[in-house]
Amino acid sequence: MKKNKANKNSTGTIALNKKARHDYFLEDKFEAGMSLQGWEIKSIREGKVNITDAYVIIQNGEAYLVGGRITPLSQASTHVICEPERSRKLLLNKREIDRLMGARDRQGYSIIATAMYWKKCWVKLEIYLAKGKHSHDKRDTVKDRDWQRQKERVMKHSV
């Protein structure tokens, strides 16, 4: 009988970009596959991924992840030349790419990577169309979050 390995995180999440919710208004969500090399998959399985500064660019009708860092393992990179910060092609439908391009060009949206996770055996990237926040918007967000927390405390103690 085969024992199942207990994963480090049961949700399948590999990496999160927590800074994105603070810096942007996230609006439309997309899920994209990624074109990866073998050494990158090995590093991802070990959790050596950082997408805090990652964003998406669109060139020649194709989407690419820029700014994501996958640190190579020393064992996996002995015979392969590794580029930790190379731009990685995203696998999206033509309709999705057109929608992303239209929102970026016409309405001034940014395309931000917020999460990388496992879906069955594939690595998926969660990307959002996002508008940048100004400093007063960030303060309003913090104020609203604190108010919600305070409300929950009051409701908890009153019951």
Tell me the fold of 14-133: Small Protein B; Chain: A; (2.40.280)
* Widest Cα–Cα separation across the chain: 64
Average pLDDT of every residue of the chain: 84
Mean pLDDT, range 30-43, rounded to an integer: 89
Q: How far is CA 77 from CA 38, 80, 84, 156, in A?
A: 10, 5, 11, 53
* Chain segment 55-108, per-residue pLDDT in tens: 999 999 899 999 989 888 877 556 777 888 888 999 999 999 999 998 888 888
The candidate with the shortest Cα–Cα distance to 25, out of 100, 144, 130, 107, is 130
